[in-house]
Structure 1
């Protein structure tokens, strides 16, 4: 079980992914965009083991969030999600800090398995 910060600007997606991760016993905190996610990380330093974030979001995108998060918390495991090919290409340059990139649409089992691989 892990403490997961889940960041996505679409509420229905956030809710579905949160429920799926909670089925595996993870404690999930959500945020609505990258700025909100960074606030959660800074309000609770060291509280999360995994960051799952969409790439394309308003305010601060997931790549900027991943860079800031890894700078502040080097042990944090990061999974990016995207439905856009150009965003996936941007993520390729982050292999050093990002554990996985899930391409939308993906199944809930794909996310659950990706998180399980990181925390097992």
Structure 2
């Protein structure tokens, strides 16, 4: 069963995403910000199949988290989420480490499809 780490500062979004992808049998762990997510990744030695993170968060944003996660756990697949066009632009330079950027708002079907696509993708490179 794939393990997915979800980082988003909005509790309602964390719950929605966790419930949506759990419908596909994924084991989910949630974090309130990038720093907490990085602590979880480090403590669990990167034992996740996918990192799904919002870009705009306090403490450590999703781009800083993605860069740190890709550096420390190069096999980890990464999906970003954002509701802001400017944040999407910031992520455009990360194609080498990020599978995709999911635009908010999204439907349950959209996020399940994005997660399935990311998990099915071959090794990043």
The unaligned stretches of length 5 or more in structure 2 are 121-125
SS at match of 1:96: coil
Counterpart for residue 46 of structure 1: 46
Counterpart for residue 70 of structure 1: 70
The unaligned stretches of length 5 or more in structure 1 are none
**Over aligned residue pairs, what C-alpha RMSD do you find?**
0.8
Counterpart Cα distance in 2 of 1:58 and 1:108: 25
Give the conservation status (yes or no) of the 8 Å contact 2:3–2:28.
yes
Q: Aligned residues, how many?
A: 120
**Structure 2 length normalisation: TM-score?**
0.93
**Structure 1 length normalisation: TM-score?**
0.97
The aligned runs of 1:1-120 (5 Å cut-off) are 1-120=1-120
The Cα shift of 1:98 comes to: 0.3
Counterpart Cα distance in 1 of 2:104 and 2:82: 6
